[in-house]
């Protein structure tokens, strides 16, 4: 019996490996033609999550999209969203399994951006303008999202509408991010804030280090520098 189980197990694993390879979305696959742009070497792994609005989605070359990742443009399939792309993922990116990228106006992810699993990125949020109307029935509000090239987004992070993250930045796992953040930032917390930055001359430092930096170097022999 153990021999039969091992043989069946090998067959199942080989079959599943074949299915995963055959069902992945690549530039050579039939499904690639639905996208506005799918660069060379792109792989959207099988099984895929919910993917719709492909003609408003661009993915740059050599980007890997993990299993069960949902990428959508618009509220649902079959809606005309205008002439411009809405979700743009750069080249050389890696989108972790189970993540969701939900675009309605503009989501721009730069080159070489890596995410952990289960990251949520959206440019739309509910509003609370009318306290008497159920929140889910109020018309949502959109604000563009931008993630700079070379950044890393940790596991379970949530990127909310209106967020602009600079280049080469890190978002800690579980952070809830809204607002604008400069290049070379480490962003953490709920709500997220900059906890470290990199600046020329200071290297990596806490944001308050700049305020503590003297405006002019001390005079030789410990005497105060003369006023100019």
Active site residues: 126
The two three-digit tokens of residue 145, written as one number: 């999202």
Rounded to 5°, angle at Cα 22 from 111 and 114: 20
Q: Where are the beta strands (DSSP E) in 53-178?
A: 57-59, 64-65, 70-73, 87-89, 94-95, 100-103, 107-109, 114-115, 120-122, 124-125, 141-142, 145-147, 152-153, 158-159, 164-165, 170-171, 176-177
The two three-digit tokens of residue 27, written as one number: 């530039």
Place of tokens 């400069």: 182
> What do you get for the CA distance between the two ends of the chain, in Å?
92
The two three-digit tokens of residue 44, written as one number: 């959207």
Rounded to an integer, what distance in angstroms lies between the CA atom of residue 124 and that of residue 141? 6
Rounded to an integer, what distance in angstroms lies between the CA atom of residue 116 and that of residue 219? 49
């Amino acid at each position: 019996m153990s021999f039969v189980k091992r043989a069946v197990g090998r067959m199942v694993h080989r079959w599943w490996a074949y299915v995963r390879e055959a069902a992945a979305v690549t530039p050579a696959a039939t499904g690639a033609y639905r996208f506005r742009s799918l660069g060379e070497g792109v792989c959207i792994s099988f099984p895929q999550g919910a993917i719709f609005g492909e003609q408003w989605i661009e993915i740059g070359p050599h980007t890997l999209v993990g299993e069960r990742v949902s990428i959508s443009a618009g509220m649902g399939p079959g809606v005309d969203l205008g002439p411009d792309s809405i979700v743009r993922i750069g080249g050389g990116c890696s989108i972790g399994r189970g993540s969701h990228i939900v675009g309605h106006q503009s989501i721009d992810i730069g080159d070489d951006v890596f995410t952990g699993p289960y990251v949520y990125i959206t440019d739309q949020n509910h509003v609370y303008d009318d306290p008497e109307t159920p929140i889910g029935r109020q018309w949502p509000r959109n604000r563009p999202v931008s993630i700079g090239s070379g950044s890393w987004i940790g596991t379970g992070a949530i990127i909310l509408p209106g967020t602009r993250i600079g280049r080469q930045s890190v978002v800690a796992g579980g952070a809830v991010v809204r607002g604008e953040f400069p290049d070379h930032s480490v962003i953490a917390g709920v709500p997220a804030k900059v906890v470290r930055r990199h600046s020329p001359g200071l290297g990596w430092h806490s944001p308050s280090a700049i305020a503590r930096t003297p405006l002019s170097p001390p005079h030789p022999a410990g005497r105060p520098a003369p006023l100019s």
